[in-house]
A and B are shown apart, each in its own frame.
Chain A
């Protein structure tokens, strides 16, 4: 830098011939930035749900969301099953009151098939459908029931619980859990992919 060009044009005395010094960022600004970053980390920990895809404000953690899930408690399963039944998945044939249609569709209300203590047969029936004459409450019906394996384990368990525990219809049997449905589903997937006949079902123990 040539000294003559260092002079200000207006000719003021040059009071700054000292070597150039740096102007640094004020220290308080740096401290502020780190404090804010720390605050940010805390804020994210509290409110960010750690990148969960299922947590939306006002919830802050996945646990909070799960706590509010409706499908817990027996009464909810009953309602869920009722909804599935009346979708009208089952009600189309077996009617909303579970009475069926004489000669066409067997009743579910008071049916001994429904009220078996163990649900093995009825789960198979729902999963893979039924063919061939079946006797329910003394009446014989020869029709085809479509398989319902498209329904999830939760849905099948719910609807079977609804049907088996429906006191209005006079049914009083233990509930069915999704685990039971899954176990049966896994068993028959390879061994018996097609519809069952009542004769076959009678050979299987309900506890299976």
Chain B
């Protein structure tokens, strides 16, 4: 190529092509997304915007570069169905026969065995077609069975989340901090996991207090040391001797620490959606937590 303008044109066309493909097209597809209806409970819209304190916590998360070590995205390798018999009806033997005849992988079944201990999982780890065939097989006999959708994958097995994360999960966040390194555990559903606000505050102040051998740096600058007034503040962190402040002082979380913890507790991506089907283990609640301070 001998001419400057040709080079310019080549570069422009190549970049324009990739711009159309990865900036324009996704903007049309997912950039104008609105809240979706929750598949199971269609009256609820998902996602809900984070309440005020959690929104401030997102800014603290961003400012301290937490995304450098923590991801907020769950992956999924496949989806399985489970068939659960909820009602054996009046003729369990017919139910058993129907199941065997339906060739869904049940080679033998006894009516009495089926009728006992309901609700009972009769098939697990099967495809959607097999599951539907099983449900259709038992329905004429008067029994009732339901299908549960169970995503599978190592992240899900680690209890980091019930399903993969999709675009709808990040709709109202700015910036969307997905993270690219798992130096620490994934946080997409940390609001659903047991640690409560107090655990999170202790973990931020002294990570090795909450998780032995953790390599997370302590975020002491999110806390302050105050002189104890008449009586200790209810927010004071309970610390062991080697980390405790001198007598007469207590460590209380600054507003940023409370905000960050509120943000962490608001992180959940468990609503069943069209693109990420799931049978929730509990009643899905798209309602975000309130502004109440950490207990």
A76 within 8 A of partner (CB):
yes
Given A65-B275, A70-B147, A83-B283, A155-B30 contact (CB < 8 Å):
no
Given A67-B128, A83-B41, A73-B147 contact (CB < 8 Å):
yes
Q: Is the CB of A57 within 8 A of B76?
A: yes
Q: Chain A residues near B9 (CB, 8 Å)?
A: none
B107 within 8 A of partner (CB):
no
Q: Is the CB of A155 within 8 A of B43?
A: yes
What's the minimum C-beta distance from B252 to chain A, rounded to whole angstroms?
Answer: 39
Could you tell me which residues of chain B, from 278 to 295, have a CB within 8 Å of some CB in chain A? 279, 283
Could you tell me which residues of chain B, from 95 to 133, have a CB within 8 Å of some CB in chain A? 127-129, 132
Given A53-B30, A73-B147, A65-B166 contact (CB < 8 Å):
no
Q: Chain B residues near A72 (CB, 8 Å)?
A: 132
B29 within 8 A of partner (CB):
yes
Q: What CA separation (Å) do A72 and B274 show in the bound complex?
A: 13
Of the listed stretches B50-58, B77-85, B209-217, B242-250, chain A binds B77-85
Give which listed residue, A51, A56, A89, A154, contacts B166 with CB less than 8 A. A56
What's the minimum C-beta distance from A85 to chain B, rounded to whole angstroms?
Answer: 11
How large, as a class, is the contact surface on chain A? 20 to 34
Q: Chain A residues near B81 (CB, 8 Å)?
A: 68
Closest to B284 in A: A83
B272 within 8 A of partner (CB):
yes
Q: Is the CB of A73 within 8 A of B39?
A: no
A143 within 8 A of partner (CB):
no
Give which listed residue, B29, B41, B277, contacts A53 with CB less than 8 A. B29
Q: Chain B residues near A74 (CB, 8 Å)?
A: 139
Give which listed residue, A56, A73, A80, contacts B40 with CB less than 8 A. A80
Q: Is the CB of A56 within 8 A of B275?
A: yes
Q: Is the CB of B78 within 8 A of A83?
A: no
User: Interface code A25-69, partner B: CB below 8 Å = 1, 0 otherwise?
Assistant: 000000000000000000000000001011111110000010111
Q: Chain B residues near A59 (CB, 8 Å)?
A: 79, 275
Q: Is the CB of B77 within 8 A of A83?
A: no
Q: What CA separation (Å) do A154 and B39 show in the bound complex?
A: 11
User: Interface code B192-233, partner A: CB below 8 Å = 1, 0 otherwise?
Assistant: 000000000000000000000000000000000000000000
Q: What CA separation (Å) do A89 and B43 show in the bound complex?
A: 10
Q: Is the CB of A54 within 8 A of B274?
A: yes
Q: Chain A residues near B128 (CB, 8 Å)?
A: 67-68
Q: Chain B residues near A183 (CB, 8 Å)?
A: none
Q: Chain A residues near B144 (CB, 8 Å)?
A: 75
Q: Chain A residues near B129 (CB, 8 Å)?
A: 67
Given A67-B128, A75-B145, A79-B146, A154-B275 contact (CB < 8 Å):
no
Q: What CA separation (Å) do A71 and B40 show in the bound complex?
A: 8
Given A65-B277, A151-B43, A58-B145 contact (CB < 8 Å):
no
A139 within 8 A of partner (CB):
no
What's the minimum C-beta distance from A72 to chain B, rounded to whole angstroms?
Answer: 7
Could you tell me which residues of chain A, from 59 to 105, have a CB within 8 Å of some CB in chain B? 59, 65, 67-76, 79-80, 83-84, 87, 89
User: Interface code B245-283, partner A: CB below 8 Å = 1, 0 otherwise?
Assistant: 000000000000000000000000000101111010001
Residues of B within 8 A of A (CB): 25, 29-30, 37, 39-43, 75-79, 81, 86, 127-129, 132, 135, 139, 144-147, 149, 153, 164, 166, 272, 274-277, 279, 283
User: What are 24 of the A-B contact pairs (CB < 8 Å)?
Assistant: A51-B29, A53-B30, A54-B274, A54-B275, A56-B275, A56-B276, A57-B75, A58-B76, A67-B127, A68-B81, A68-B277, A69-B39, A70-B39, A70-B272, A71-B39, A72-B132, A73-B147, A75-B86, A75-B135, A75-B145, A76-B147, A80-B40, A80-B42, A151-B43
Closest 5 A/B residue pairs (Cβ): A67-B128, A68-B277, A53-B29, A54-B275, A75-B146
